[in-house]
Amino acid sequence: MAQANTKSFSLRINAENGELACMKELGVFDPLSLKLLALTAADEVTIQLLKVNIIIKSKSNI
């Protein structure tokens, strides 16, 4: 909501103090490739957990 009010798309929560801050001013840049890598890794972990869950359920039905 704060981003829409200020029309600044670089506002994020500063992990050091928990307050909103402009990441451009702090020199923090988060490349898109890094975000895509993190999402891909999370997706792969989720798929593996679901596969393990299916294996456990199928073995308990035997």
Domain boundaries, the chain: 1-29, 31-62
Q: Mapped to the 3 state alphabet, what secondary structure does 46-62 carry? A: HHHHHHHHHHHHHHHCC
Ordered per-residue pLDDT tens for the chain, 62 residues: 555 566 777 888 888 999 999 888 999 887 889 989 999 999 999 999 999 988 888 877 66
**DSSP reduced 3-state for 24:** helix
Q: Is the pTM of this model over 0.75?
A: no
Phi, psi of 13 (to 5 degrees): -85, 125
